[in-house]
Amino acid sequence: MKIFSDLHIHSRFSRATSKELNIENLVKYAKMKGLNLLGTGDFTHSLWLKELKEDLREDGSGILKSKGGFSFLLSAEVSNIYTQDNRQRRIHNVILAKDFETVEQINDWLSKKGRLDYDGRPIFGFTCTELVENIVGISKDCMIIPAHIWTPWFSLFGSKSGFDRIEECFQDQTKNIFALETGLSSDPEMNWRLSSLDRYALVSFSDLHSFWPWRIGREATVFEMKELTYDNLVKSIRTKEGLVETIEVDPSYGKYHHDGHRGCGVSLSPEEARNSNNLCPVCKRPLTIGVLHRVEELADRDKGFVPKDSKPFRSLIPLSEIISIVLGSPVNSRRVWEEYNKLVNAFGSEFNVLMEAGREQLINISNERMVDLILNARSRNIRINAGYDGVYGELVMKEDETEGLEKPQKTLKDFS
C-alpha cells in the first residue's frame, strides 16, 4: 500500500496557527488533498495531548486511528536555542514517537527542562545533542528529524544560527539522525550537492499552521509497505527502503529561497548578493542570506549531480494557488473553491489532479488555460519569482497565458 504522509504539522496550540485546527478539520482536508497519514503535531502540549487521547485510539501498531479510521502518528516539534562556539544556535527538530506512554515520558523529561504550556512548539535552552541523547534514551523507537534544515533563522544549516556540518550540531548523537527535512525553500536536487548528506533520507512535510489545502500536504513523503505500522515506517526512513518519493513545492516558492531584505523589497540571487557584499543595496544593512546561497556555500558537487541511491521527487504548486492565478481571484475566494471542488470531486483528490489526471480528462472538467497551467506545473515548465526574507515566491504566467485574464488579486501569498 502507498502511504502519502505529512508528519510535520501543528495544532491550534502553536503560535500563529488557525484557531480551528482540530482533528476533524485535519482529517477532512487531508482526505481532500490525498493524504492518508498525518502527524499529530504538538504532543508536548497538555491540552492538545488530552484531545488526542480522546479523539484517537491506539491498537498496538504505533498508528493511531480517528473515529472515522484515519491514520495518525504521534509527532511534535521543539525549538532548541542555546550558545555553542560563541554563537547563538536556533534549531528546530521534529520528534516521532510510537505511543502515548512514550510521549508521557518525553513530556515528563521536557517539563523538567522548561515550560510546555505556552506553545505547541516549546523552546528549550539545551543542545540538540542533549535532546537526541535523552529522547533515544527514553525509547529507541523514537526518531528525531532536523526540521526545514536550510531555513535562515531556525535550522540545522540556517545562515543566521546554524552549523556547517551535521556533526557540529549533534556531535556523538549524529549516529541517531537518519533523516533530514528539506523544507519549502530547498528540494532534494539542491541537497544532493552535498556529499555529506548522502546517507540521510530526505523527507518533506508541510509544517502547516492551518488545515487549508494550500497548506496541508503542500510537501509530503510517499512510502510503500505491506502494512502501515510505526515500526515499518521508521524502518523505511532509516534504511530508505520503502521510501518511494517526496512531493515538493518548487523551491523558488519558499519564503527563503533567495537572499533579500523584505523591508526594502529587495530580492537577490546569491551571485547578486555576493556582488553587493551581502548588503541590501537600498539601506546597506545585511541581507537575510537565503537557502540557495547557503547550499552553494556548503556544496562540494556541481548543480545537477544525482547520487546513485537517490529517491525521485515531484515538484508541484498547490492546486488552489494555480486556480487563483488563472481566475484572478483570492485563493480562499468562492470562485476558487468552486473550481477546486469541481476538480477534486472529479478525480478523488488534489494529488490525483496535480499528478495523475490526463489532459483530455482535465479538459472535460476545466478550461484549457487551467489545464495548461496544471500540466506545466507538473512538468516544471513554469517560472516563479523566488521568495526571499519571509516573502513567498510568485508564480509568473507567460504572456500568451495571461492574455484576456483578470489581474490576480492574490498570487502565492501567505494565507496561514
- The cell numbers describing 191, all together, are 541537497
What's the domain count of the chain? Answer: 2
Residue 112 inside a domain? The answer is: yes
Cα-Cα end-to-end distance for the chain: 32
DSSP symbol at 288: B
What three-state secondary structure class fits 17? coil
Q: Are the C-beta atoms of 6 and 38 separated by less than 8 Å?
A: yes
More confident residue, 378 or 405: 378
% of the chain at pLDDT higher than 70: 95
What three-state secondary structure class fits 87? strand
Q: Are residues 341 and 236 in the same domain?
A: no
pLDDT at 373: 96
126/86 Cα distance (integer angstroms): 15
Q: The cell 537575510 sits on which residue?
A: 288
Q: Are residues 239 and 92 in the same domain?
A: yes
What's the whole-number mean pLDDT along residues 329-349? 98
**Residue 163 C-alpha from the chain's centroid:** 20
Band of pLDDT at residue 412, cut at 50, 70 and 90: very low
Q: Are residues 249 and 335 in the same domain?
A: no
**Structural domain harbouring 224:** 2-253
What three-state secondary structure class fits 113? coil
Band of pLDDT at residue 398, cut at 50, 70 and 90: low
pLDDT digits (tens, 9 = 90+) for 104-142: 999 999 999 999 999 999 999 999 999 999 999 999 999
% of the chain at pLDDT higher than 90: 94
pLDDT digits (tens, 9 = 90+) for 242-283: 999 999 999 999 999 999 999 999 999 999 999 999 999 999
pLDDT at 397: 74
pLDDT at 396: 85
345/353 Cα distance (integer angstroms): 10
Q: Are residues 211 and 328 in the same domain?
A: no
More confident residue, 404 or 257: 257
pLDDT digits (tens, 9 = 90+) for 54-105: 999 999 999 999 999 999 999 999 999 999 999 999 999 999 999 999 999 9
pLDDT at 411: 31
Residue 149 inside a domain? The answer is: yes
Structural domain ending residue among the three candidates 253, 274, 296: 253
250/398 Cα distance (integer angstroms): 17
Structural domain ending residue among the three candidates 230, 253, 276: 253
Q: Are the C-beta atoms of 146 and 152 separated by less than 8 Å?
A: no
pTM: 0.94
Band of pLDDT at residue 402, cut at 50, 70 and 90: very low
- Amino acid making up residue 187: D
Angle value at C-alpha 329, between 324 and 334, nearest 5 degrees: 95
Query: How many Cβ atoms sit within 10 Å of the Cβ of residue 134?
Result: 16
For 147, list phi and psi in degrees, rounded to 5.
-90, 145
- The cell numbers describing 121, all together, are 512548539
Q: Are residues 76 and 201 in the same domain?
A: yes
Residue 15 belongs to a domain with what CATH number?
Answer: 3.20.20.140
- The cell numbers describing 282, all together, are 537600498
Q: Are residues 117 and 223 in the same domain?
A: yes
280/55 Cα distance (integer angstroms): 50
pLDDT at 406: 38
Query: How many Cβ atoms sit within 10 Å of the Cβ of residue 156?
Result: 28
pLDDT digits (tens, 9 = 90+) for 183-214: 999 999 999 999 999 999 999 999 999 999 99
Q: What mean pLDDT, rounded, does the chain reach?
A: 95
